[in-house]
A and B are shown apart, each in its own frame.
Chain A
Amino acid sequence: MNPFLAQCRASFEAQATQEGTVEGSQRQAEWTRFEALGWPTTRLEDWKYTALSGLEKLSLHHSIEPREAVKGAPRALLEGIPAPRLVFVDGMFQPDQSMIEGLPKGVHLRFWSELDARERERFTQKMAPARALTAFGALNGALFTEGIWITVDAGCALETPLHLVKVSLTGQRMSHGALLLESEENSELTLREHCLGSTDQPAHSNWVTAIELAPQARLTLVKVQQEGLLSYHTAALHGLQRAGSQLQVFAFALSGALGRNDITLRLIEPHAECVLKGMYRVADRALQDFHTTIEHDSPHCTSDECFKGVLEGSGKAVFNGRVRVALDAQKTSSRQSNHNLLLSDKAEVNTKPQLEIFADDVKCSHGTTVGQLDEEQWFYLRTRGIAADLARTLLIQAFTLEIAEAIPHVDVRAEVRRLLGGTVEENGHV
């Protein structure tokens, strides 16, 4: 057993004795599943290009202390993140640093610790498809310390985005959290997820998110990973969409040693629409891995997916985009693209767009490119007196900003645009 697993096991055993029997048996079931799935290695198709050798050597501490024992995040880190916001530090909710007073009446927050046995069972049931996505999902089910259940009432539309801040504060720690988000009919919400880190030591964040959209509900989720250079990030997201609902997911992976996102969106009733866009940038020896699945289970649904990657240093990226169109999901329209900029001779990208189609009256396409900055564009800028570095920066920005431009909420769009610009400039002179 590797050191990482040994720590997980120790923590699981400690935690199982603390909780009641129902939760205990649920955790036990997830732990058994995790053990049955086995530790992900590159021999498994889903992990073919993503080696976890760095993570498995770490002996990370898993804190199961109560919320009060966790110290808050540094002020500077949270500065500029407006209310309403929910702050989690090392996987534990921080009521003092969170600001939820301004939330409208239609938005309800409940925490795992407050749920009764029946509610806990429902929460676990609804989290199940997200936890089923990877072995880390099972691990989450066995070890999670914090669970949050957000419900948006029918017809409730939030103008201001809700900020969800996850901070890896302490080094040598792992954190496991679960988020369940249910949007009722005709509701509207923008969720801005910040994944931050204030440690220069290794840490592992493993969150699982389940989203359920009722008919005509609209949800936008904007997630940005900006953790420390030695951090490991594994996340699973499962979205379930009913008739006419609209889900837009934007995922930006900007830093970290290794990131793995498993995103599955299921369109289970007619006229549901989803947009899944993302951008990853890797440098040094970092790796970012996006495994996405869009399941068209019902006719007349639309999906639009686009991921872009910028690879520098010895960075490595993996994109596996699967689109599945079920039998009888006629009139499906699906687009997918993945574009990669390889900026260094040591960088590496492995991409696999995958279409599985069981219905005939569909329009599905995908496109993939791997290439470099266009010399002609660069030359054009140079002839207009723009310095080499700046020309390069401009071209990379133009490439990546396209993803940010699609974010519907104007403030969030502007903020992400700033973030992307910032990271490009910082790395522009490498």
Chain B
Amino acid sequence: MNSITDTLEGLISLEYRHGFETSIEADEIPKGLSEDTVRLISARKNEPEFLLEWRLEAYRRWLKMTPPTWSSVHYPPIDYQDIIYYSAPKSQKDGPKSLDEVDPELLKTYEKLGIPLHERAILAGVAVDAVFDSVSVATTFKDKLAEVGIIFCSFSEAVQHHPELVKQYLGTVVPVQDNFYAALNSAVFSDGSFVYIPPGVRCPMELSTYFRINAKNTGQFERTLIIADRGASVSYLEGCTAPMRDENQLHAAVVELVALEDAKIKYSTVQNWYPGDKDGRGGIYNFVTKRGDCRGARSHISWTQVETGSAITWKYPSVILRGEESVGEFYSVALTNHRQQADTGTKMIHIGKNTRSTIVSKGISAGFGQQAYRGLVRMARSATGARNHTQCDSLLLGDRCQAHTFPYIEVKNNTATVEHEASTSRIGEDQLFFCRQRGLSAEDAVSMIVNGFCKEVFKELPMEFAVEAQKLLGVSLEGSVG
């Protein structure tokens, strides 16, 4: 047993791979938050009047709200006046016309991260919208997508070129007053991605965003809005990294998905923000509101997430199943190591008839990691024939880690069927023994068992991501196997 513990400990001490900082001159606004900050951000981005009003409304509501305290994550109070709410790479002030205009330093950063931007993008066939601190740097494949009528651009561009779409959908899934962090985001959001898939169009490639927090003391407040019109379908990938720093940085994003009749949206995330060092110094606070709205009949929204980074992860990608026979899915692997904390899960709100949802949540906790699955399955009175199946399993590696489950189940319709099962255990000695007996090293055995544990979720990821996710898991676990 000791030898296994030792190998595991050896494995854990791996360092964060994406911890480099890129020195780029940034155009920042002073620290602090006030109505003027909101006006300043809006002015910098040359936004129409309606959006400024919307931001100010959010800000006023935010002032009256208090940070939620019900979660099982612990962190010192955040000083909202000590954050820079807008930071843009300076050379990008007027926005790049093409990839050639993008700061080579920046491209190098992405290259280091291994994002398929530029030529590599073509090879990989992925259209990338990369968000660097607060602004979207470049969107590849825009023209090719435009041919079929797809709008894929940064949020700021969408505000300039498609204000009617933004006005129609912004805040309809996550209203400004939804929660403390969503209100903050609504007031100060700087950029993000915007996707509109016209009726009947199946997006010919995977769309992808890569977020990176670079500048010090900045918060990243991106806002993503994806609309799939009738019969459209899209698969969207999101990846996140940040440099290593001693302070904690706040990331409060909002993602809104709207699926109309027969539309399908698949949203995949691999989140690898800087998790802090092994003693819990630094790292990203990842407080995100993600919600999808299945508005039309037979629409389909699927969330897949692999959460390995962040000092604190606090998010519940949810689906409101309004349309008849609509489908919601949530597949999640969350890993907490060292002093990381994660409070994550999902909400499936069944309103329409014969709606279905599936939840598969796998939590892995190592070191002093803390993890909670918190979920809600609500069958409204109108949800005749609705079905849900939930499975949440936790794997414990180490005797100082924690795993909690808080599933809320509310059923008001007697034709609805809800099933929930959960288990918590550690890697079985017998399983390890079996692998060791067949000549596998302890590390390989553990990594194989962990991968097997997560397989159900990984198979939902697009191929490129699945490979990355498996590697990430291996890296993040280093030093924790025991």
Give A contacts to B, CB under 8 Å. 45, 49, 311, 327-328, 330, 340, 342-345, 347-372
Which residues of chain B have C-beta atoms less than 8 A from A362's C-beta? 396, 424-426
Q: Does B46 contact A (CB under 8 A)?
A: no
Contact for B404 among A328, A355, A361, CB less than 8 A: A355
**In the complex, which residue of chain A has the Cβ closest to the Cβ of B410?**
A350
Give the size of the chain B interface in residues (CB under 8 angstroms): 35
Contact for B421 among A344, A345, A367, A371, CB less than 8 A: A367
Answer whether A363 and B425 are a contact pair too, CB < 8 Å, given A352-B406, A352-B407, A353-B405. Answer: yes
Instruction: Assess whether B399 is in contact with A343, with CB atoms less than 8 Å apart.
Output: no
Instruction: Assess whether B414 is in contact with A345, with CB atoms less than 8 Å apart.
Output: yes
Q: Does B11 contact A (CB under 8 A)?
A: no
**In the complex, which residue of chain A has the Cβ closest to the Cβ of B387?**
A371
Contact for A360 among B381, B397, B411, CB less than 8 A: B397
What per-residue 1/0 map shows which CB atoms of B358-396 lie under 8 Å from chain A?
A: 000000000000000000000101000000000000101
Q: Does B22 contact A (CB under 8 A)?
A: no
Docked complex Cα distance between A45 and B72 (Å): 14
Q: Does B122 contact A (CB under 8 A)?
A: no
Instruction: Assess whether B418 is in contact with A371, with CB atoms less than 8 Å apart.
Output: yes
Q: Could you tell me which residues of chain B, from 185 to 244, have a CB within 8 Å of some CB in chain A?
A: none
Instruction: Assess whether A372 is in contact with B415, with CB atoms less than 8 Å apart.
Output: yes
Which residues of chain B have C-beta atoms less than 8 A from A311's C-beta? 414
Q: How far is the CB of B34 from chain A (nearest CB, A)?
A: 32
Contact for B394 among A328, A357, A361, CB less than 8 A: A357
Docked complex Cα distance between A289 and B464 (Å): 48
**In the complex, which residue of chain A has the Cβ closest to the Cβ of B70?**
A45
**Most chain B C-beta atoms within 10 Å of own C-beta, residue among A311, A342, A350, A369:** A342
Docked complex Cα distance between A359 and B398 (Å): 8
**In the complex, which residue of chain A has the Cβ closest to the Cβ of B388?**
A370
Instruction: Assess whether B418 is in contact with A370, with CB atoms less than 8 Å apart.
Output: yes
Instruction: Assess whether A367 is in contact with B422, with CB atoms less than 8 Å apart.
Output: yes
Answer whether A364 and B399 are a contact pair too, CB < 8 Å, given A356-B404, A370-B409, A371-B418. Answer: no
Docked complex Cα distance between A356 and B406 (Å): 8
Instruction: Assess whether B409 is in contact with A364, with CB atoms less than 8 Å apart.
Output: no
Answer whether A365 and B421 are a contact pair too, CB < 8 Å, given A342-B414, A352-B407, A357-B394. Answer: yes
Instruction: Assess whether B422 is in contact with A353, with CB atoms less than 8 Å apart.
Output: yes
**In the complex, which residue of chain B has the Cβ closest to the Cβ of A317?**
B411
Which residues of chain B have C-beta atoms less than 8 A from A343's C-beta? 414
Docked complex Cα distance between A360 and B411 (Å): 33
Which residues of chain A have C-beta atoms less than 8 A from B406's C-beta? 352, 354
Answer whether A351 and B405 are a contact pair too, CB < 8 Å, given A365-B422, A371-B418. Answer: no
Instruction: Assess whether A353 is in contact with B426, with CB atoms less than 8 Å apart.
Output: no
Docked complex Cα distance between A349 and B418 (Å): 11
Q: Could you tell me which residues of chain B, from 420 to 472, have a CB within 8 Å of some CB in chain A?
A: 420-426
Docked complex Cα distance between A364 and B425 (Å): 7
Which residues of chain B have C-beta atoms less than 8 A from A344's C-beta? 414
Which residues of chain B have C-beta atoms less than 8 A from A349's C-beta? 409-411
Answer whether A369 and B425 are a contact pair too, CB < 8 Å, given A347-B414, A350-B409, A356-B404. Answer: no
Docked complex Cα distance between A353 and B375 (Å): 11
Pairs of residues from A and B, 5 with the lowest C-beta to C-beta distance, nearest first: A342-B414, A360-B396, A368-B420, A370-B418, A365-B423
Instruction: Assess whether A348 is in contact with B411, with CB atoms less than 8 Å apart.
Output: yes
Docked complex Cα distance between A342 and B411 (Å): 9
Instruction: Assess whether B403 is in contact with A367, with CB atoms less than 8 Å apart.
Output: no
Q: Does B115 contact A (CB under 8 A)?
A: no
Q: How far is the CB of B103 from chain A (nearest CB, A)?
A: 47
Which residues of chain A have C-beta atoms less than 8 A from B70's C-beta? 45
Which residues of chain A have C-beta atoms less than 8 A from B407's C-beta? 352-354, 368
Docked complex Cα distance between A213 and B260 (Å): 60
Contact for B398 among A45, A360, A363, CB less than 8 A: A360
Instruction: Assess whether A372 is in contact with B421, with CB atoms less than 8 Å apart.
Output: no
Q: Does B20 contact A (CB under 8 A)?
A: no
Which residues of chain B have C-beta atoms less than 8 A from A330's C-beta? 399
Instruction: Assess whether B418 is in contact with A368, with CB atoms less than 8 Å apart.
Output: yes
**In the complex, which residue of chain B has the Cβ closest to the Cβ of A322?**
B406
Instruction: Assess whether A352 is in contact with B408, with CB atoms less than 8 Å apart.
Output: yes
Answer whether A368 and B409 are a contact pair too, CB < 8 Å, given A330-B399, A344-B414. Answer: yes
Instruction: Assess whether B405 is in contact with A366, with CB atoms less than 8 Å apart.
Output: yes
**Most chain B C-beta atoms within 10 Å of own C-beta, residue among A49, A356, A360:** A360
Instruction: Assess whether B397 is in contact with A366, with CB atoms less than 8 Å apart.
Output: no
**Most chain B C-beta atoms within 10 Å of own C-beta, residue among A328, A347, A359:** A359
Instruction: Assess whether A369 is in contact with B419, with CB atoms less than 8 Å apart.
Output: yes
Q: How far is the CB of A47 from chain B (nearest CB, A)?
A: 14
**In the complex, which residue of chain B has the Cβ closest to the Cβ of A366?**
B422
Answer whether A355 and B409 are a contact pair too, CB < 8 Å, given A362-B425, A364-B424, A370-B416. Answer: no
Q: Could you tell me which residues of chain B, from 335 to 369, have a CB within 8 Å of some CB in chain A?
A: none
Q: Does B92 contact A (CB under 8 A)?
A: no
Answer whether A369 and B418 are a contact pair too, CB < 8 Å, given A352-B408, A364-B424, A364-B425. Answer: yes
Q: How far is the CB of A220 from chain B (nearest CB, A)?
A: 28
Which residues of chain B have C-beta atoms less than 8 A from A340's C-beta? 411
Which residues of chain B have C-beta atoms less than 8 A from A357's C-beta? 394, 396, 402-404, 424
Which residues of chain B have C-beta atoms less than 8 A from A328's C-beta? 399
Q: Does B401 contact A (CB under 8 A)?
A: yes
Instruction: List, sorted by A's number, 25 A–B pairs whose CB atoms are closer than 8 Å.
Output: A327-B399, A327-B400, A330-B399, A342-B414, A342-B416, A343-B414, A349-B410, A350-B408, A352-B409, A353-B405, A354-B405, A354-B407, A356-B404, A357-B403, A359-B396, A360-B398, A360-B401, A362-B426, A363-B425, A366-B420, A366-B422, A366-B423, A368-B418, A370-B409, A371-B418
**In the complex, which residue of chain B has the Cβ closest to the Cβ of A361?**
B426
Docked complex Cα distance between A363 and B409 (Å): 23
Which residues of chain A have C-beta atoms less than 8 A from B71's C-beta? none
Docked complex Cα distance between A366 and B418 (Å): 14
Q: Does B160 contact A (CB under 8 A)?
A: no
Which residues of chain B have C-beta atoms less than 8 A from A49's C-beta? 410
Q: Does B93 contact A (CB under 8 A)?
A: no
Q: Does B417 contact A (CB under 8 A)?
A: yes
Which residues of chain A have C-beta atoms less than 8 A from B7's C-beta? none
Docked complex Cα distance between A340 and B406 (Å): 18
**Most chain A C-beta atoms within 10 Å of own C-beta, residue among B409, B412, B415:** B409
**In the complex, which residue of chain B has the Cβ closest to the Cβ of A367?**
B421
**In the complex, which residue of chain A has the Cβ closest to the Cβ of B420?**
A368
**In the complex, which residue of chain B has the Cβ closest to the Cβ of A369?**
B419
Instruction: Assess whether A372 is in contact with B418, with CB atoms less than 8 Å apart.
Output: no
Which residues of chain B have C-beta atoms less than 8 A from A360's C-beta? 396-399, 401, 426
Q: How far is the CB of B443 from chain A (nearest CB, A)?
A: 18
Docked complex Cα distance between A311 and B415 (Å): 13
Which residues of chain A have C-beta atoms less than 8 A from B414's C-beta? 311, 342-345, 347, 372
Which residues of chain B have C-beta atoms less than 8 A from A327's C-beta? 399-400
Q: How far is the CB of A360 from chain B (nearest CB, A)?
A: 4
Q: Does B179 contact A (CB under 8 A)?
A: no
**Most chain A C-beta atoms within 10 Å of own C-beta, residue among B397, B404, B414, B425:** B414
Q: How far is the CB of A218 from chain B (nearest CB, A)?
A: 29
Q: Does B413 contact A (CB under 8 A)?
A: yes
Which residues of chain A have C-beta atoms less than 8 A from B408's C-beta? 350, 352
Q: How far is the CB of B300 from chain A (nearest CB, A)?
A: 24
Which residues of chain A have C-beta atoms less than 8 A from B409's C-beta? 349-352, 368, 370
